[in-house]
Amino acid sequence: IEGCAVADRAVCSVGAYVSGAASMGSDLVLEEYELTPLLRQAVRKYSVLFINRGLQVEVPECGCRILTDEKWFSFCLEQILFNAIKYTPKGKISFSGRQQGEETVLEIEDTGMGIRAEDLPRIFERGFTGYNGRTDKRATGIGLYLCRKVCRQLGISIAVESSVGKGTRVELTIPRTVL
């Protein structure tokens, strides 16, 4: 995918920063944000990739507000979205958000190639690329590792479900207060 090499290099640069820091705590600036504009901002960043691949995207208004660090939360969103684009040759990527008690649940779902069951437990390991990443030959195995690391700093839990040939669903559970 044209443009993917640049995005992969950016992830590696962030990786050097995050891996070198004992804690990102001193770099966090927590504020309240509306979720939908953050999602739309991430989609805009990759709009050329959506257009080039002919992918549909759904970002409905959810009315959710979250307490987070915009820079680091956006990094996670963009990494998840980039992977969804990279591994979705046709179809769509959709977002949905909802309040669930004191938490906000964000789901990012694609109609891509999916992740093999045997690879799924390891996708957050540093350097793990799995079957799809080895086939792609440009995967670094750093993006989701960093995404989970950042999510932990923000108090966000991340879970992934996937089915080969059907797609992948990533769920971020965002607490009202950061740990």
Distance (Å) of CA 138 to CA 85, 130, 148, 151: 14, 12, 20, 24
Q: Which pLDDT score, from 0 to 100, does residue 24 have?
A: 64
Direct distance between the N- and C-terminal alpha carbons of the chain, in angstroms, rounded to an integer: 37
Judge whether 18 and 55 are in contact, CB under 8 Å.
Answer: no
More confident residue, 165 or 5: 165
Q: pLDDT tens digits, residue range 6-65?
A: 555 555 455 554 554 446 667 899 999 999 999 999 999 999 999 999 999 999 999 999
Q: Which pLDDT band holds residue 134 (cuts at 50, 70, 90)?
A: confident
Distance of alpha carbon 67 from its chain centroid, rounded?
17
In the beta sheet, which residues pair with residue 34? 65
H/E element, 13: helix 4-20
Q: For the segment 51-106, what is each residue's pLDDT rounded down to a tens digit?
A: 999 999 999 999 999 999 999 999 999 999 999 999 999 999 999 999 999 999 99
